[in-house]
Amino acid sequence: MTQIQRFASRLAFGASALAFITTTASAGEITWWTPNFNEARARELLTRFQTEHPDVTVNLEITTTNGLPERILTTLQSGAAPDLIDVQHPWVNNYAQNGLVIPLDDVLEAREDYNEAALDYVTWDDQLWGIPYRIEAIAVLYNRGHFAAAGLDPDSPPKTWDELLTTARTLTEAGHSGFAITGGGEVGNTIFRSLPFVWMNGGDLLSEDGTTAVINSPEAVEAVKFWTDMYVEHGVSPTSTLENDGTANRRLFIADQVSMYQSGQFDIASIQTENPNIDIGAMMTPHPEGGEPAAILGGWSWVVPTTAENPEDAKTLIRWLAQPENMGFFTDTFPARTSAMELPRFDDPMLQVFGEMLPYGRPLPTHPQYAQMAQAYFDGIQRILIGEQTAQEAMDLAAEDIQALLDQ
């Protein structure tokens, strides 16, 4: 045998051994990708799952949110995807339209128990392409001490836009920034905080059928003007608004410089550790007179890739994880099932307001060019904030840019 032949035979042996390993791995064995913040709870749940289902072995792989969309897209298209992946709701629609994940209608139990908007996110072509497990919505955090010092009642925070503005002005006169909005950082920061104001006023980014940009409608412009005027006209948002994202606003709140700002429950823990002197209050996002609050629903779903080796066992695991007590244990914020909300861990007065915001949560548009549309809208907001354009002019231009993307 020549050396080359020997080498080739070894290679062949290696390859078949490798093939053997991968095929045996698929029998009763699944791979689950979950983000690092879920790791501890996932491991605990899996120990219990394993005792109930000894025939299924689950390999947990931990992901990080930074760069996760790219990593998941790559694995979905590579043909060697894991069997179960945790993804954010807005990503699911694109996977479904490109045939990268399988429908999960047969996995969902007790449909009416789920948050409606969360199911909307993961529905396409009348089928369900993911099982939502975690949902959250932004509300407003405020400094109760500032309220009392300015002669306002901390127990009755503003409910309408008019009250919000008056309160913000009073707090600003008392020496703080009354209501901080965002104007910098990642695009998403400003979308999540300003678009609900447009919705509350009856406006939207796109028309219902998704073919027309309507962000320059009178309702939308009025809402955008109200929101940006916090900085432009009334100066109740800090001077640094244009460079602030959600995190920067939290720092200003911790530094006692901001009295009210829009945020999720995820900020509460770090405020309590970094400045325990602040008496934190939470209020629902104020709405126009006679209207109701709105929020963008965020959160996570489980999907099963089309190329999963063992979709049946993955579905078994999802069914088990989606039991109210398991889902309620697993989620970092709130569970997508109403019945899971009754668990003791959600019985926290601080969380109550964020929980009450959930029914008002709505999904973001799921157009393939959404990222560029969001950028066009955000550029418009920034043009208003730097004083280059009025709300009407800026939203006219944004609508034009978004329409061009829709027509492409």
Partner 1 sequence: MRRLPTGLLFALPALIVLLALIAYPVVYTGILSVTDGSGAFTGTENFRDVLSARMTPRAFTNTLWWVGGSIIFQVILGTAAAILLNQEFPGRGIVRAIAVIPWVVPGIVAATTWAWMFHTEFGIINYMLTGPGLMDEPVGWLTNPDTVMPAMIAINVWKLFPFVAIMVLAGLQSIPKDLYEAARVDGASFWEETRYITLPQVRPVLIAVTLLLVIWALNHVTTIYAITKGGPANLTLITPIQIFRLGFESFQFNQAAALSVIFFVIAMVIVALYIRFLASSGEVAR
Which residues contribute to the site for partner 1 (CB under 8 A)? 70, 183-186, 238-243, 251-252, 257, 369, 371-372, 375, 379, 382-383, 385-386, 388, 397, 400-401, 404, 408
Nearest approach in angstroms of CB 394 to partner 1 is: 9
Strands 280-283 and 139-143: antiparallel
Nearest residue (CB) to partner 1, 246 versus 328 = 246
Nearest residue (CB) to partner 1, 2 versus 408 = 408
DSSP letter (8 states) at residue 337: B
Nearest approach in angstroms of CB 167 to partner 1 is: 22
Rounded CA-CA distance 332/266 in Å is 9
Nearest approach in angstroms of CB 303 to partner 1 is: 18
Nearest residue (CB) to partner 1, 287 versus 383 = 383
DSSP letter (8 states) at residue 255: T
Contact yes or no for 221/230 (Cβ under 8 A):
no
Nearest approach in angstroms of CB 241 to partner 1 is: 8
The number of beta carbons lying within 10 Å of the beta carbon of residue 282 is 20
Residue in the block written with tokens 């694995």: 75
Spatial CB neighbours of 312, under 8 Å, sequence gap ≥ 6: none
Q: Kindly state the tokens that stand for 182.
A: 């965002």
Nearest approach in angstroms of CB 244 to partner 1 is: 9
Nearest approach in angstroms of CB 243 to partner 1 is: 5
Nearest approach in angstroms of CB 136 to partner 1 is: 23
User: Which H or E run contains 86?
Assistant: strand 84-88
Nearest residue to 72 via CA among 281, 249, 300, 382 = 300
Nearest residue (CB) to partner 1, 208 versus 407 = 407
Helix (H/G/I), strand (E/B), else coil: 254: helix
Nearest residue (CB) to partner 1, 159 versus 234 = 234
Nearest residue (CB) to partner 1, 170 versus 257 = 257
Strands 123-124 and 131-136: unpaired
Q: Kindly state the tokens that stand for 61.
A: 């792989």
Rounded CA-CA distance 288/212 in Å is 25
Nearest residue (CB) to partner 1, 339 versus 369 = 369
